[in-house]
A = this chain, B = another copy of it.
């Protein structure tokens, strides 16, 4: 990011849900951003009127300090009328309010980059994974509001979808079975009580398997007549919570249409790249996918920060006795799987001149 010079006129942005886990990551990643200037931090009425530094003194959960720019911003409630100069809002809102608030912003002409699930299944709203389906941006014209809504996928299947994209394009996919071991940060804060997870695993995350079985299909689908059509393979998901801080690890078994060799799969991953890399976006990881040869990798503790948390790390590709191949994929759930993915989407919009 150091190579970018600040333009005189960075795009003004707001962060909605600024006090939550995803909001905190947005604020961290937007520190000294070359394209965007955070002018508004929004949260609930409890926090409104106070500075972000004051409210977050005991609630900031990232190990680096609150960025200086954010400390003195006064929190407001998420009201588009109060922030007319804002062009784009990053939403880390809770799903129980995100649907309506995000719609208000879009109606007011402010673009929404959302990490919430609410609008993900609308066929005119892309689940945008910048390297995977930047072509889906064309459906934005089908949205009737002046502000457009772009979502990113559920954190769990972000890495899975990236791992599948180059394989789908070259070999076709019949079936995917996946088993996740998901970090506690995926549940936000306070999130999972320690009494539930210390020395334990929980083989259930509410609503997660449903999302994991459908969102990749939309993300990997095609645009026809201004709407997104889902890819035509099947996914079965087993989702589990484990006592890991950050990093979702997913075991994947894949049945292909055309049978690839081990070398073909690995080279597909190594060569995979997308518009973020072509455009040289600040947050674009390089490589997009890193394949590790060791027997026991990827692991959250050792591989989480690969590419500053934006690279998807894959390992253990081996034949599957039932399907064709199996492997393990890791991605950083609050960076690549949430705030980082959303910000990369915003960078893509900026560079492709969607922000006017």
A240 to B251, CA, bound (A): 9
Chain B residues whose CB sits within 8 angstroms of the CB of A300 once the complex forms = 199-201
A243 to B81, CA, bound (A): 46
Please state if A201 and B181 are interface contacts (CB–CB under 8 Å): yes
Say yes or no: is A4 at the interface (Cβ < 8 Å to chain B). Answer: no
Chain B residues whose CB sits within 8 angstroms of the CB of A196 once the complex forms = 61, 190, 194
A236 to B244, CA, bound (A): 25
Say yes or no: is A71 at the interface (Cβ < 8 Å to chain B). Answer: no
Please state if A181 and B240 are interface contacts (CB–CB under 8 Å): yes
Please state if A195 and B202 are interface contacts (CB–CB under 8 Å): no
Quote the shortest CB–CB distance from A155 to chain B (angstroms): 15
What mask results when residues 283 to 310 of chain A are scored 1 for a CB within 8 Å of chain B, else 0?
Answer: 0000000000011111111111100000
> Copy number of this protein in the oligomer?
4
What mask results when residues 203 to 231 of chain A are scored 1 for a CB within 8 Å of chain B, else 0?
Answer: 11010000001000000000000000000
A206 to B294, CA, bound (A): 12
Please state if B194 and A197 are interface contacts (CB–CB under 8 Å): yes
Chain B residues whose CB sits within 8 angstroms of the CB of A296 once the complex forms = 58, 202-204
A22 to B57, CA, bound (A): 31
**Contact stretch, chosen from A162-170, A265-273, A315-323:** A315-323
Partner of A58, one of B238, B294, B322: B294
Please state if B203 and A242 are interface contacts (CB–CB under 8 Å): no
Say yes or no: is A6 at the interface (Cβ < 8 Å to chain B). Answer: no
Size category, A interface = 35 or more
Please state if A193 and B195 are interface contacts (CB–CB under 8 Å): no
Using A201-B249, A204-B295 as known contacts, say yes or no to A323 and B190 having CB atoms under 8 A apart. no
Which of A185, A320, A321, A328: most chain B CB closer than 10 A? A321
Say yes or no: is A184 at the interface (Cβ < 8 Å to chain B). Answer: yes
Chain B residues whose CB sits within 8 angstroms of the CB of A236 once the complex forms = 253, 320-323, 326
Chain B residues whose CB sits within 8 angstroms of the CB of A179 once the complex forms = 179, 238, 251
Say yes or no: is A177 at the interface (Cβ < 8 Å to chain B). Answer: yes
Shortest Cβ distance from A305 into B: residue:
B63
Chain B residues whose CB sits within 8 angstroms of the CB of A321 once the complex forms = 213, 234-236
Chain B residues whose CB sits within 8 angstroms of the CB of A204 once the complex forms = 295-297, 316
A271 to B243, CA, bound (A): 35
Please state if A203 and B298 are interface contacts (CB–CB under 8 Å): yes
Q: Which 10 A-B pairs have CB atoms at the shortest separation, nearest pair first?
A: A190-B193, A179-B179, A238-B251, A204-B296, A200-B301, A199-B199, A203-B328, A236-B322, A184-B194, A192-B194
Please state if B242 and A201 are interface contacts (CB–CB under 8 Å): yes
Shortest Cβ distance from A255 into B: residue:
B322
248-283 of chain A: CB within 8 A of chain B = 249, 251, 253
